[in-house]
Structure 1
Amino acid sequence: MDIAVLGSTGTIGRSLSGKLEESGHTVRRLSRSAGVDARSGRGLDAALEGAEVVVDAVNVQAIRGDRAVSFFTRAAQNIARSAERAGARRVVCVSIAGAARPEVRGAFGYYRGKAAQERAYQDARIPATIIRSTQWFELAEQMAAQASIGPLAVLPTMRMAPLSAHRAARHIVPEVVREDVAGDRILAIRGPEEMTTAQLVRRILAARGEIGGRRLRVVTELPYLGRGLAGGGLIPRDGIVDDLTLGAWLDGGGAAG
């Protein structure tokens, strides 16, 4: 199958592209560095021409709600229109579990943007599969960096059911290549354990002695992103449950996905 992956240089886009290629599919690895800009539409039509399926793994670090909504809406609309013009059968969008819930998207601009992205694909004429993934273990370094000053980290209280990005990609591959999808489809992926951001960071610190090069001595959390995130709004109520625990991942069990 000929598959175009937009955002192929990001964490999930890179993992997904690799797993699709391992499965014998032809993958077009597309990104802004390759001359394809989803937000402006630059290079999209030519890059998607003839692709059978288009995967949207595009991401941006946008905390402000207006910027996030604008970016994700425009990118999704451009991708959907270009994919339709290119003759693709459908689009697969990698989204975030919980983003569509009012108590989640109302508290944090980034999730508001992801909710807008989902709506754009649901309103598009081309069939779309939306995959809502919980946070990945690999994002703990980024979360700790954003919330730390020196040896202190004050993380937002976010209850989650995280999993490895490699495992998330492994579950996404069958959805990308399946042949029996006639219309829109939504599914979720989560890990086997529930924990907060602080618990995730503390466990990685205990196992490795550092996280992202930081040797944090105090890791605490406060619900400054709202009750929706603190109370488990990011955890899917149903969907695919991966079986790789954080402990097994830290022991190297998820190194190859």
Structure 2
Amino acid sequence: MRIVVIGGTGLIGSKLVTWLEGQGHEAVAASPKTGVNALTGEGLAGALAGAHVVVDVSNSPSFEAAQVMEFFETSTRNLTAAEASAGVGHHVALSVVGTGRTPTNDYFLAKRAQEELIAKSGIPFSIVHATQFFEFVRGIADEATHDGRVRIAPVRFQPIAGDDVAEAVGRAALGAPLNGGIEVAGPDQFRMDEFFREALASWGDTREVVTDPHARYFGTEVSERALVPDEDAALGRIHYRDWPGRKP
């Protein structure tokens, strides 16, 4: 099977291409680095020729409200139009758990808009909603740092390893279109402030983690279960305590 991975040279995309090739499929890494730009449409027609499945794991280079919305709406319109012309039978997209639960978060709003465009495109589709990646945990701590203290809300948190995300997306790509979505998350759920307190200690990071019910997650206060999946979510196999990237 020929599967084109949009964003195929990025964190999840590169892992996904490797996983798909390991399953015996032809996986094409498509990104601006390889001459394929979903935002401008450059190279799409050639890349999608003969593709059975297109997987979109691309991400906006900016999280500013207007730019992130423009990225996901424009790239998705370009992709689905090119897929229709190429006769692609399955569109798979990686999204985020909780896009409908945090309506004031600019990134979540943009991902929700992307999902709606996919659903209306007429192309059979599957959307994989993932929780936050282990690889981004340090960035979350840095973004939450103010005056040298890491302010984290005491809400539920269930991060997942990038390798587990890639496998979940890969399995969706190889399966029949769901015309809906699935959720994937790490095997362990934590209270977010306690997770970061232990994580920073394991890194040897001396910043104090402050429990703050009004702490913002990338600019938005989140509710108790906004960042975690429902009970029927598929769970990854890699525990954070065992993840090789946990320590420096």
TM-score of the pair, normalised by structure 2: 0.87
1:185 maps to 180
CA distance in 2, matches of 1:117, 1:240: 22
Change (3 A) 1:108 1:82: same
Asked whether 1:236 is paired with 2:238, we answer: no
Q: 2:241 aligns with which of 238, 247, 251?
A: 247
Q: Secondary structure at the match of 1:74?
A: helix
Match of 2:45?
Answer: 45
Kept in 2, the 8 Å contact 1:143–1:155? The answer is no
Query: Are the aligned partners of 2:8 and 2:14 in contact in 1 as well (CA < 8 Å)?
Result: yes
1:167 has 2:161 as partner: no
Counterpart of 2:223 in structure 1: which amino acid? A
| More displaced 10-residue stretch of structure 1: 63-72 or 151-160 | 151-160
Q: How does 1:146-157 map to 2 (within 5 A)?
A: 146-148=143-145, 151-155=148-152
Q: Which residue of 2 aligns with 1:212?
A: none
Task: Name the counterpart of 1:208.
Answer: 203
- Asked if the contact 2:135/2:245 (under 8 Å) is kept, the reply is no
Output one character per residue of 1:6-40: Cα deviation in whole Å (capped at 9) or x when no partner: 11122211111111111111111111122211111
The aligned length equals 241
The structure 1 segments of at least 4 consecutive aligned residues displaced by more than 6 Å after TM superposition are: none
Q: Which residue of 2 aligns with 1:199?
A: 194
Match of 1:217 in 2: 207
Deviation at 1:96, TM superposition (A): 0.4
Query: 1:131 maps to which residue?
Result: 128
In the alignment, residue 229 of structure 2 is paired with which amino acid? Answer: P
Asked if 2 retains the 8 angstrom alpha-carbon contact of 1:62 and 1:109, the reply is no
Post-superposition offset of 1:82:
0.8
- Give the distance between the partners of 1:30 and 1:134, measured in 2 at CA: 24
Aligned counterparts of 1:23 and 1:61: Cα–Cα separation in 2? 30
- How far apart in 2 are the matches of 1:148 and 1:189? 28
- Residue 153 of structure 1 deviates from its aligned partner by 2.6
The CA deviation at 1:157 is 6.0
CA distance in 2, matches of 1:244, 1:253: 11
Q: Is the 8 A contact 1:118 1:130 kept in 2?
A: yes
Q: Deviations over 1:82-138 (max 9, x none)?
A: 112112111100000111x1x41x221111111111011001021111110111111
Instruction: Note the C-alpha offset of 1:3.
Output: 0.7
Correspondence for 2:108: 111
Distance 2:64 2:80 in 1: 24
* Stretch moving more, 82-91 or 48-57: 82-91
The TM-score with structure 1 as length reference comes to 0.84
Q: Do the aligned partners of 2:90 and 2:173 also contact (CA within 8 Å) in 1? A: no
Partner Cα separation in structure 2 for residue 17 and residue 156 of structure 1: 36
Distance 1:14 1:157, change over 3 A: farther
Q: How many Å separate the matches in 2 of 1:22 and 1:4?
A: 15
**Post-superposition shift, 1:236?**
1.5
* One-letter code aligned to 1:167: D
Show CA shifts across 1:65-97 (max 9, x none). Answer: 332222111111111111121121111000001
Residue 35 of structure 1 is matched in structure 2 by 35
Coordinate RMSD, CA, aligned = 2.3
Question: Would the aligned equivalents of 1:51 and 1:86 in 2 still touch at CA under 8 Å?
Answer: yes
